[in-house]
Amino acid sequence: MGGRVVLITGGSRGIGAAAARRFAAGGDKVVINYCHSKAQAEALAVETGGWAVQADVSDSGQAAKMVDNVLEKFCQLDILICNAGIAQQKLFGDLTDEDWRRMFAVNVDGMFYTIRAALPHFIHRKAGRILTLSSMWGQVGGSCEVAYSAAKAAVIGLTKALAKEVGPSGITVNCVSPGVIDTEMNANLSPEDLAALAEETPLERIGRPEDVAETLWYLASDAAGFFTGQVLAPNGGLII
* Residue of 34, 113, 148, 218 with catalytic role: 148
Write the CB contacts of 145 (distance below 8 Å, at least 6 apart in sequence): 87, 88, 89, 90, 137
Write the CB contacts of 147 (distance below 8 Å, at least 6 apart in sequence): 88, 90, 95, 99, 100, 103, 104
Residue type, 62: Q
List, edge to edge, every strand of the sheet that includes 128-133: 51-54, 29-34, 5-8, 79-82, 128-133, 171-176, 231-232
Q: Is 218 a catalytic residue?
A: no
**Catalytic positions:** 148
